[in-house]
C-alpha cells in the first residue's frame, strides 16, 4: 500500500531587509510529506521577495502572500492560482500601504494583512477569479507600552478569525492589546468594546482559539509567557499567564509561534532564543507543562500541525532546518526527519 502523501507550502526570507535579519530562500516552496517515512521533497519553487506568511483561500484554489519589506521598498500583497500539480500561477498584486507586513489571512472574499512596523491592518477584497482588488480599509493602531526598544509604538502582528466567523482579532505586540474588529456591510471596522488588554510588557504575537472559542491562548513574544483569555458575555478577559520557558533558563525570551492540536488536548509554543517547542496539556481552563522539545536548529520561527494531527513540522530561519516530528499519543514529539533543502523557511500552510 502506497503511503499517504501530504502536500503543503513553505514561505521563506529571500533577502535581508534589516542587517542580520532575513534569509537566502527561494521564495515559496511546494513541499511533499511522505507520511510513512517523514521525508520531505521539494516539488516546485516560486520566486517572490520575502513571502514570510502564506494563506490559502477557503476553496483551496488560491494562495496569497505578502512581501515583507520596509514601506519605502513598496511591499505587495500577491495572489496565485494553485495548479493541479501544486505549482503556482501568478495572478496579480496590490500595493500594501505599510511597513514590514508580517501576517495575513483569508476571510470570505477578503485578504486581511497586518503590518508590523506601521501598526496597521488592511483589507483587500477579492474578485470572483481570486485576484486581489485594491485596499479598501486601512486601520492604524495607536499607543505604546513599557518596553522602550520594542513597544515604542503599535506593532500589529497577527490577524485571527474567531470560529464564529464574525469577530476578528489582531495581536498588537507594541501596545499589549488584542484589537477587535468586525465586518460591517463588507467593510472591516473596529469593534473597540471587544478589545482585550493584556499583561503589560508581554508583547502579544500570535493567538489560537480552543474548539468552542471559550478560551484563547496568546503567545507573548517579549516574555515568552502564554496568556489565557476566557470568554465572558461575548468579550475576552485575561485570566492567567503561564511561563513557557524552563525554570532554569535565564536567557532572553523570543516567543515565535503557537498551535493547538486538532484534538484540543495539547498546546505547543515555540521560542527562538530557547530553541525549543514547549508542550502543554490542556486541562479545562488551565495548562500543564509536559515537555520541552529542543529542535537543534537556529531561529525556530514557525511550525504547524498537519490537518490529520499526526505531524508537526518546524521551520528554522537561520540554520535552514525543516524538521518533521511525529506527534505521539501523549502529545510529545519524536523527530523522524530533517532537511536543509529549504533555505530560510519561516512559515508553513496546508490546504484544508
Q: What was the pLDDT predicted at 2?
A: 66
**Reported pTM:** 0.97
pLDDT of residue 4: 85
Predicted pLDDT at 200? 98
CB 179 within 8 A of CB 170: yes
Whether the Cβ atoms of residue 301 and residue 316 lie closer than 8 Å to each other: yes
* Vertex 241: Cα angle to 52 and 100 (nearest 5): 20
Cross-strand partners of 270: 257, 277
Contact 87, 44 (CB under 8 A): yes
Query: What's the distance, Cα to Cα, between the start and end of the chain in Å?
Result: 24
Q: What is the pLDDT of residue 58?
A: 86
Could you give the C-alpha distances from 33 to 30, 37, 293, 312, in angstroms and in order? 10, 9, 21, 11
Q: Per-10-residue mean pLDDT for the chain, 352 residues long?
A: 86 95 98 95 98 96 98 98 98 98 98 98 98 98 98 98 97 98 97 98 98 97 98 95 97 97 98 98 97 98 96 98 98 98 98 90
> What's the CA dihedral at 205, 209, 214, 219 to 10 degrees?
-30
Q: Is 15 exposed, middle or buried (0-12, 13-18, 19+ CB in 10 A)?
A: middle
Amino acid at each position: 500500500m502506497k503511503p499517504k502523501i501530504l502536500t503543503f507550502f513553505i514561505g521563506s526570507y529571500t533577502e535581508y531587509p534589516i542587517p542580520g535579519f532575513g534569509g537566502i530562500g527561494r521564495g515559496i516552496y511546494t513541499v511533499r510529506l511522505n507520511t510513512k517515512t517523514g521525508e520531505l521533497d521539494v516539488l516546485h519553487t516560486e520566486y517572490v521577495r520575502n513571502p514570510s506568511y502564506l494563506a490559502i483561500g477557503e476553496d483551496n484554489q488560491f494562495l496569497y502572500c505578502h512581501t515583507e519589506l520596509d514601506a519605502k521598498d513598496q511591499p505587495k500583497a500577491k495572489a496565485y492560482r494553485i495548479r493541479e500539480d501544486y505549482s503556482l500561477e501568478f495572478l496579480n498584486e496590490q500595493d500594501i500601504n505599510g511597513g514590514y507586513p508580517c501576517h495575513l489571512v483569508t476571510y470570505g472574499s477578503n485578504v486581511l494583512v497586518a503590518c508590523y512596523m506601521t501598526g496597521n491592518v488592511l483589507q483587500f477584497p477579492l474578485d470572483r477569479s481570486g485576484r486581489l482588488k485594491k485596499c479598501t480599509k486601512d486601520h492604524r493602531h495607536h499607543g505604546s507600552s513599557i518596553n522602550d526598544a520594542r513597544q515604542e509604538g503599535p506593532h500589529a502582528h497577527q490577524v485571527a478569525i474567531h470560529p464564529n466567523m464574525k469577530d476578528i482579532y489582531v495581536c498588537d505586540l507594541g501596545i499589549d492589546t488584542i484589537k477587535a474588529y468586525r465586518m460591517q456591510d463588507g467593510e472591516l471596522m473596529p469593534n473597540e468594546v471587544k478589545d482585550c488588554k493584556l499583561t503589560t510588557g508581554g508583547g502579544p504575537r500570535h493567538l489560537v482559539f480552543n474548539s468552542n472559542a471559550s478560551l484563547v491562548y496568546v503567545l507573548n513574544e517579549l516574555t515568552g509567557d502564554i496568556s489565557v483569555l476566557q470568554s465572558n458575555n461575548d468579550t475576552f478577559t485575561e485570566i492567567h499567564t503561564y511561563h513557557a520557558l524552563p525554570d532554569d533558563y535565564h536567557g532572553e525570551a523570543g516567543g515565535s509561534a503557537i498551535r493547538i492540536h486538532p484534538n484540543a488536548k495539547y498546546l505547543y509554543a515555540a521560542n527562538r532564543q530557547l530553541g525549543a517547542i514547549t508542550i502543554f496539556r490542556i486541562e479545562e481552563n488551565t495548562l500543564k507543562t509536559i515537555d520541552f522539545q529542543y529542535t537543534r536548529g537556529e531561529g525556530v520561527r514557525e511550525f504547524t500541525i498537519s490537518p490529520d494531527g499526526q505531524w508537526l513540522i518546524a521551520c528554522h530561519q537561520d540554520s535552514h532546518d525543516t524538521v518533521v516530528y511525529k506527534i505521539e499519543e501523549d502529545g510529545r514529539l519524536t523527530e523522524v526527519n530533517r532537511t536543509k533543502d529549504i533555505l530560510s523557511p519561516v512559515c508553513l500552510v496546508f490546504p484544508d
